[in-house]
Amino acid sequence: MKDEILEEVAKVIIPLIQVFGVYVIFHGHLSPGGGFAGGTIIGASFILYRIVYGKEKASMKFSYKRLMKIVSFGLLAYGTMKGYSFVSGGSHLNWPSPPLGTPGKILSGGFLLPLNIVVGAVVGITMYFFYSLFDEGEI
Amino acid sequence: MLIDSFPLLTVLLLFITASIMPLLKKSNLVKGICIISFIVSFVMYLATLNRVLKTGDYFYRVGHFNAPFGIEFHVGTVECIMGILFTFVAIMVIWNSIYNIHFDIREDKIPLYYLLVNILIASLLGIVFSNDMFNVFVFIEIGNLASCGIVVVKDKKENIKAGMKYLIMSCLGSGLVLMGIAFLYSITGHLNMTYIHNELVKNYIHYPRTILITLGLFTVGLGVKSAMFPLHTWLPDAHSNAPTTSSAILSSLVLKGYILFLIKVLYRVFGIEIIRNFPILNIILVLGCLGMILGSIFAIFQKNLKRVIAYSTVAQMGYIFFAIGLGTELGIIMSIFHIIGHAVTKAALFLCTGAIIQGTGHKNLDELKGVGKEMPYTLGLFFIASLSMIGIPLLPGFVSKWYLALGSIEANKTLLIAVILASSLLNAVYYFPVSINGFFGEENLRGKIYKSKSKSLKELLPIIILVIAMIYIGIDSQSIINLIKTGLV
Amino acid sequence: MEKLLTNYYETGAIILFGIGFMTLLLNNNLIKKIIGMNIMDTAVFLFFIAKGYIQGKEAPIISGNFKGMEGYINPIPTSLMLTGIVVAVSTTAFALALTVKIYEKYGTVELDKILNKGE
């Protein structure tokens, strides 16, 4: 759609939505939210960009190759971190792990913070893929 | 002590290699990574079986929390045998698919296909090993999406309709299973299978109706997903329209994972003393008998070769439900033995069928007469595999039927031997004409050149290894049965 | 009968499950079948989460000071159902994508017309 008011308002609102989404992801272990909820918010901001600015500009900024690379490396990192934690716990080995810290601070809880970030990225990109799939028929 | 974590490492390895696959462009690299990950898993399971036979089964806690707060895996003899079986059949099927996957699927969807196969087999291994009810539910849901994906990846009209029917019925089944888990949690307050069993033994007398509803929900829910008799309607469409590799994996492996979960729920969570007070075992027995007879009767009337084999799968699932419903120790042992025998045989049958359909281009039975002169070795392997289905001695089909007859005498239900004999005869009625019309009859063979469309030895090697494994299981059946008996508690 | 009325959350969940099940089986339109599947899954989530409620205690979020273990409701059913909701969403999305493809190939979304056209 080619509407001037919509474009100008979207230029201001989309960064605010993304900042809120990043806050929900990063505070996942201290307040309600976490990876899934924050990822959905960021995915909604991508979909809004695609609706307002049209298909060509959106596929220049969010190309299929770059998004697939982020998803694949994200899943690889998730699997490796989880595997490290499971194997070191199950076999009673004492390998080093991120510190637990004090509850209530942002850098606490061991592996929780990196896992939330990965899950947020993957969920956001998946939401955007589903919208473009229903809109076009192909990604 | 890293050898303790081998079962968990295989599931993780399959998931991690699945997430690398969308990035690669060349399909040869993708096929190579897939086969190497399965070979590594197979070797790891052999090492774990070795360890379990020496020191006994053990519980492996996942992560840093003990049960009942954390998840644990129960690694025993039966689970290791299942793990070896799944990875072995998967290696053979994928080895065969290296040469002829490009007949069925477009070139750019091949990495996606191998990703789905990896995720599917990893979720089945998770169902087999896990000891926590909700963990099994998560793996069931992952397997749902992956197995529906490998049916619809071929883009034809009938595939998408069959895939849609499969998805809806599978989702119905897992919704019922989740309701059953909710009922069990509300009675006992635990999610770990051994803790639930201890709680149920103490106070099952106070909750007769709740346990009856829970058993019904689990049986119907898992019966929909593993083709118990009246709920099997999704199976012929889905298994016959899918690409050859998908049909082989779906028919031989996917149905078995859910039956194994049903065996675990009935005999490990509830236990044989509680189950005897409810009529659920008789219902499973009756439905198994109906499946054996009616599945074969439907198979006789089909014209497409793949649909005949798909209906034969329904009949063989009837045998396994019959064995579960007998309620004795011999019944459980024979159901697990039939799972092993049927997986190898059905994979060989579907791979032979795929080779025949790609070689000649015909799918219907009346166009396939005389194919024996053009592809003698392939039809010969098909003939040997179908002999096992009918029940010729020295092959695993005969061993299953013999011990099932012994089991039904032991449980005082002697009439059921007639059912077993009737279903064996019906099996012969539809398997023999395929081979006989292929090899003999003068008017069939006129105009065909000898060995014109035969596949090379390199492509037939996985099928030959599967048939040799099937003959070995048939000959060495007594030691396998003793191995299973030591694994059951 | 009074047991059904005191546990009204569970009764409502089972009635909703029945409604979703009937919608899934008896309707002809594919979109309505997917809606029925969603209603059925939501009913199971409601049943499970309602089992975690203990009367007189509050939600398990620390705001202010920590009240010890007896001040909060059981958090395990809620966290399990989070996984269930994600699974239900992804299954619905996959089913809808398949419906779009069926509409392209067959031209209709009614199930009996699709079955008649096929074979």
Say whether B412 sits in a helix, a strand or coil: coil
Q: Give the CA angle between residues B204, C72, C84 to the nearest 5°.
A: 65
* B243, B272, B301 - which closes a domain: B272
Q: Are residues B210 and B79 in the same domain?
A: yes
Q: Are residues B217 and B308 in the same domain?
A: no
Q: Are residues B84 and B4 in the same domain?
A: yes
User: Is it the case that residue C54 has pLDDT exceeding 90?
Assistant: no
| Sequence letter at residue B251 | S
Q: Are residues B262 and B288 in the same domain?
A: no
d(CA A122, CA B281): 45
Q: Are residues B191 and B337 in the same domain?
A: no
With 0-12 CB in 10 A as exposed, 13-18 as middle and 19+ as buried, what is A127? buried
From chain C, the residues in CB contact with A134 under 8 A are 96-97, 100
Backbone angles phi, psi at B59, to 5 degrees: -105, 130
The count of domains in chain B is 2
CA atoms within 13 A on the CB side of B487: 22
Which residue, among A65, A71, A76, would best test binding to B if mutated, counting the most B CBs under 10 Å from its CB?
A76
Under 8 Å between Cβ of C32 and C109: no
Considering only CA atoms, which of B121, B89, B46 is closest in space to residue B341?
B89
Contact across the interface for A90 and B8, Cβ inside 8 Å:
yes
pLDDT for res B442: 60
d(CA B146, CA A72): 17
Contact across the interface for B19 and A91, Cβ inside 8 Å:
no
Minimal CA separation from A27 to chain B, in Å: 23
Give the chain A residue whose CA is nearest to the CA of C96.
Answer: A134
| 98-117 of C, contacting B, C-beta below 8 A | 98-99, 101-102, 105-106, 114
| 59-118 of A, contacting B, C-beta below 8 A | 68-69, 71-72, 75-76, 79-80, 82-83, 85-93
Q: Is the peptide bond before B236 cis (omega within 30 degrees of 0)?
A: no
Q: Which residues pair with A82 in a beta bridge?
A: none
Local structure of residue B454 (DSSP, 8 states):
P
C30, C94, C105 ranked by CB distance to B157: nearest: C105
Q: Are residues B53 and B71 in the same domain?
A: yes
Considering only CA atoms, which of B34, B4, B84, B109 is closest in space to residue B340?
B84
pLDDT for res B244: 86
* B210, B245, B272 - which closes a domain: B272
**Cα separation values, A98 from A111, B61, B316, Å:** 6, 20, 52
- Show which subunits contact C, needing at least 3 CB pairs below 8 angstroms: A, B
Residues B58, B61, B66, B67, CA torsion sign? negative
d(CA B312, CA C26): 29
Q: Which residues pair with B175 in a beta bridge?
A: none
From chain A, the residues in CB contact with B62 under 8 A are 86, 89-90
| Segments forming the whole domain that contains residue B462 | 279-489
Token readout for A82 is 């989880």
Contact across the interface for A93 and B61, Cβ inside 8 Å:
no
pLDDT for res B299: 87
Under 8 Å between Cβ of B130 and B269: no
Which residue, among C62, C65, C91, would best test binding to A if mutated, counting the most A CBs under 10 Å from its CB?
C62
C80, C91, C98 ranked by CB distance to B164: nearest: C98
How many C-beta atoms surround the C-beta of residue B276 within 10 A?
11
Q: Are residues B7 and B107 in the same domain?
A: yes
C61, C86, C93 ranked by CB distance to A32: nearest: C61
Q: Are residues B253 and B310 in the same domain?
A: no
C86, C97, C104 ranked by CB distance to A133: nearest: C97
Minimal CA separation from A50 to chain B, in Å: 24
C61, C86, C96 ranked by CB distance to A36: nearest: C86
Contact across the interface for A93 and B1, Cβ inside 8 Å:
yes
Full 3-state SS string of chain A: CCCHHHHHHHHHHHHHHHHHHHHHHHCCCCCCCCHHHHHHHHHHHHHHHHHHHCHHHHHHHCCHHHHHHHHHHHHHHHHHHHHHHHHHHHCCCCCCCCCCCCECECCCCCCHHHHHHHHHHHHHHHHHHHHHHHHHCCC
Q: Are residues B489 and B377 in the same domain?
A: yes
Contact across the interface for A90 and B16, Cβ inside 8 Å:
no
Q: Does C98 touch chain A (CB under 8 A)?
A: no
From chain C, the residues in CB contact with B160 under 8 A are 98, 101-102, 105
Under 8 Å between Cβ of B216 and B279: no
pLDDT for res C89: 87
| Sequence letter at residue B41 | S
d(CA B266, CA A57): 57
d(CA B270, CA B405): 26
**Structure pTM?**
0.92
Token readout for C108 is 């209709």
Per-residue pLDDT of B10-65, as tens digits, reads 999 999 999 888 888 888 888 899 999 999 999 999 998 888 888 888 888 887 78
B145, B157, B163 ranked by CB distance to C91: nearest: B145
Considering only CA atoms, which of B234, B413, B227 is closest in space to residue B318?
B227
User: Is it the case that residue A58 has pLDDT exceeding 80?
Assistant: yes
Q: CB under 8 Å to A101, separation ≥6 — which residues?
A: A107, A108, A109
d(CA A23, CA A2): 31
d(CA B403, CA B398): 9
From chain C, the residues in CB contact with A137 under 8 A are 100, 104
Considering only CA atoms, which of B461, B428, B423 is closest in space to residue B320?
B423
User: Is it the case that residue A115 has pLDDT exceeding 60?
Assistant: yes
Q: Are residues B231 and B164 in the same domain?
A: yes
Per-residue pLDDT of C7-45, as tens digits, reads 888 889 989 999 998 998 888 888 999 999 999 999 999
Q: Are residues B266 and B304 in the same domain?
A: no
Per-position b or e across C8-23, b if 16+ CB within 10 A of its CB? eebeebeebbeebbeb
Minimal CA separation from A125 to chain B, in Å: 15
| 15-44 of A, contacting C, C-beta below 8 A | 31-32, 36
Minimal CA separation from C119 to chain A, in Å: 26
pLDDT for res A34: 83
d(CA B42, CA B44): 5
**Banded pLDDT at C70 (limits 50, 70, 90):** confident
Give the chain B residue whose CA is nearest to the CA of A70.
Answer: B23
User: Is it the case that residue A43 has pLDDT exceeding 90?
Assistant: yes
Considering only CA atoms, which of A69, C77, A17 is closest in space to residue B183?
C77
From chain C, the residues in CB contact with A27 under 8 A are none
pLDDT for res B441: 62
d(CA B394, CA B406): 17
Which residue, among A91, A97, A115, would best test binding to B if mutated, counting the most B CBs under 10 Å from its CB?
A91
Q: Does A134 touch chain C (CB under 8 A)?
A: yes
* ipTM for this prediction: 0.91
Kindly state the average pLDDT of the residues A124-135. Answer: 86
With 0-12 CB in 10 A as exposed, 13-18 as middle and 19+ as buried, what is C40? buried
Per the listing, tokens 């050898």 go with: B3
d(CA C45, CA C13): 8
Q: CB under 8 Å to B280, separation ≥6 — which residues?
A: B212, B215, B216, B219, B266
Under 8 Å between Cβ of B296 and B309: no
d(CA B475, CA B478): 8
Minimal CA separation from B131 to chain A, in Å: 14
Q: In this structure, are strands B71-75 and B58-62 parallel, antiparallel, or unpaired? A: antiparallel
From chain C, the residues in CB contact with B168 under 8 A are 24, 33, 37, 95
pLDDT for res A24: 92
Under 8 Å between Cβ of B210 and B273: no
pLDDT for res A44: 93
Largest CA distance in chain A: 62
| Sequence letter at residue B248 | A
Contact across the interface for C82 and A36, Cβ inside 8 Å:
yes
With 0-12 CB in 10 A as exposed, 13-18 as middle and 19+ as buried, what is A105? exposed
Kindly state the average pLDDT of the residues A10-25. Answer: 93
How many C-beta atoms surround the C-beta of residue B381 within 10 A?
21
Q: Are residues B172 and B71 in the same domain?
A: yes
pLDDT for res B448: 65
Q: What is the mean pLDDT of each run of 10 residues along chain B (489 residues)?
A: 83 90 85 91 91 86 80 88 92 88 81 91 92 91 91 85 89 90 88 89 86 91 89 88 88 91 89 86 90 88 88 90 87 90 91 85 77 80 87 86 88 83 88 81 62 74 89 86 80
Give the chain A residue whose CA is nearest to the CA of B6.
Answer: A87
Local structure of residue B267 (DSSP, 8 states):
I
Contact across the interface for C86 and A32, Cβ inside 8 Å:
no
As a residue count, chain B comes to 489
pLDDT for res B428: 87
* B237, B272, B307 - which closes a domain: B272
Per-residue pLDDT of B137-172, as tens digits, reads 999 999 999 999 899 888 888 888 889 889 989 998
Kindly state the average pLDDT of the residues A94-103. Answer: 76
Considering only CA atoms, which of B419, B409, B413, B439 is closest in space to residue B296?
B419
Give the chain B residue whose CA is nearest to the CA of A84.
Answer: B63
Higher pLDDT, C1 or A133: A133
Under 8 Å between Cβ of B119 and B142: yes
